[in-house]
Structure 1
Amino acid sequence: MKFSLVMATLGRSVEIERLFNSLVNQTYKNFEVIVVDQNEDDRVVKLVDEFRDRLEFVYLRSEKGLSRARNVGLKHIHGELVAFPDDDCWYKPDVLGYVAGRFAAEPSLRGLTGCSVDEGGSPSQGRWATRPLRVDRYRVWTCATSYTIFLHREAVDLAGPFDESLGVGSGSRWGAGEEVNYLLKVIRGGVPVEYDPALRLYHPEPLRQMDDKAYARTRLYNRGFGRVLRLNDFAVYFVFYLVARPLAGAALASLRLDFGRARYYWIAATQRYLGWQDSVNARGETA
């Protein structure tokens, strides 16, 4: 089975070189890297040229917006298995071999997800389930982020395109959630998607420091989180559970006098609620 790895990129180069080196070192070699470049300069072109003798590339350009870029990339996939590596993640040498082995051993499997860890092996990018399980609409929130998702081509065809009003660079207020929304479309199709915590992908933890950049990211990401809850008609009780969790975190952080983290949790809670309440046009321009 061949992998198509769809990587959208904007503003990075050192991180892409790390990812490319990790792909060169994969024990499983049957894959292509579909690079969707959103830069106005040639930083990515230079890296693609540098690695072209060691990796199979499809090089594309697109307008800004993560979901837009992935949709451009999906039009050019040739593999039976599809993944969406971030331009700042990287793979252990056995990742693609492990995933290919799971799909080969389970012919009915149409999706496999793993968890995210930082360079030290600690969980990154949120909370993660600790045991293997079947991914459903309620479990998906602790079982997947974009670069930990591997889908069979049939699941990709079932899901269709990414929602371009969601995600980084969309131009809307919903700065995340596009990959969970996409995976929810796969799950609604009734095909089996499994979560395997032994499948671990590397990604830096972006919230080590509570500063203005972290707070801005938290606003966009959680507004998108709430929007996905609305788009997929989640029950009110579940929405309020997901809002109550960070509210409780804000209260506990305040009691510990950790006001930076308390502010982070407060932003997360309020933006989730606002995203769920948004009744807007497709660009997210009104509340």
Structure 2
Amino acid sequence: MKFSLVMATLGRSTEVERLFNTLAEQTYKDFELIVIDQNEDDRVRRLVDSFSDRMEIVYLRSEKGLSRARNVGLQHIRGELVCFPDDDCWYRPDTLQYVAGRFATEPALFGLTGCSVAESGVPSQGRWATEELVVDRYNVWTCATSYTIFLRAEAVRQAGPFDERLGVGSGSRWGAGEEVNYLLGVLKAGMRVCYDPALRIFHPEPLLVMDEKAFSRARLYNRGFGRVLGLNAYPASFVLYLIARSAAGCALSLAKLNFKRARYYWIAASQRFLGWKD
């Protein structure tokens, strides 16, 4: 089975080179890397040229917007398995081998997701389920983020394009959630997706520093989170539960006099609500 790795990139080069190095070191070699470059300069093109003798790379350009870039990339996939690495994530040498093995032995499996960890091995990018699960519309929030999702090409065809109103660079208020919205499309088509916590993809933890950048990111991401809840008609009880979790985090942080983290949680709670009502 051939992999098509669809990677959009903007504003990074050192991180892209790290990912390229880990791809070149994969024990499973049957893959194409589809790079969708949104930079105005040639920083990524130079990296593509320097790695083109070590792996198959398709180089494309697109307008800004993560979902737009992925939709451009999806028009060029030739693999039976598709994934969406971030330009600042990276893989263990056996990642593709492990994923290919799962799909090869489980023909009824149309999607496999894993968890995100920092370089130290601790969880990054949120809370993660700790046991294997069949993914559904309620547990998906602790079972998947874009770069931990692997799909059969048939599932990609069923899901259709990414919603370009969602995600980083969309130009809307909804700066995240596009990958969960996409995966929900796979689930709606009746396709089996499983979560495997042993499938671990490296990605930095973005919330090590609580600054204005983190707060701005929280507004965009949680508004997008809420928008996906609304688009997919989640019941009010579930939405309010998710909002209440963030509100409780705010209260607990205030009790500990951690005012920056309290502010972060308040932004999360309020923006989830606003996104849901958009």
CA offsets 1:200-246 (integer angstroms, 9 cap, x no match)? 00000000010000000000000000000000000000000000001
Q: 2:209 corresponds to which residue?
A: 209
Q: Deviations over 1:111-164 (max 9, x none)?
A: 000000000000000000000000000010000000000000010000000000
Partner of 1:285: none
Q: Could you tell me which amino acid in structure 2 is paired with residue 56 of structure 1?
A: E
Are 1:165 and 2:145 an aligned pair? no
Whole-angstrom distance in 2 between the partners of 1:233 and 1:66: 24
Q: How large is the Cα RMSD of the aligned pairs? A: 0.3
1:282 aligns with: none
What aligned pairs does 1:226-245 form with structure 2 within 5 A after superposition?
226-245=226-245
* Map of 2:91 onto structure 1: 91
Aligned to 2:49: 49
2:35 corresponding residue in structure 1: 35
4+ residue segments displaced more than 6 Å: none
- Structure 2 distance, partners of 1:202, 1:252, is 29
What is the deviation of 1:55? 1.2
Tell me the TM-score normalised to structure 1 length.
0.97
* 2: CA distance, partners of 1:91 / 1:207: 21
Whole-Å Cα distance in 1 between the matches of residues 87 and 107 of structure 2?
30
Aligned equivalent of 2:269: 269
Matched, 1:146 2:131: no
Per-residue deviation, residues 3-61 of structure 1 (Å, max 9, x unmatched): 00000000000000000000011000000000000011000000000101001001000
- Looking at structure 1, the residues matched to 179 and 55 of structure 2 have their Cα atoms a distance apart, in angstroms, of 26
Aligned to 1:71: 71
State the SS of the aligned residue for 2:18.
Answer: helix
Q: Aligned partners of 1:80, 1:238: CA distance in 2, in Å?
A: 35
User: How far apart are the structure 1 equivalents of 2:55 and 2:263?
Assistant: 44
Gaps of 5+ in 2: none
CA shift digits 1:87-121 (9 cap, x unpaired):
00000001000000000010110000000000000
Give the counterpart letter for 1:236 in structure 2: A
What is the match of residue 114 of structure 1? Answer: 114
Q: In 2, distance between residues paired with 1:269 and 1:55?
A: 44
Identical positions, percent: 75
Give the structure 2 partner of residue 103 of structure 1: 103
1:17 aligns to 2:22 (yes or no): no
Number of residue pairs matched by the alignment: 278
Would you say 1:252 and 2:252 are equivalent positions? yes
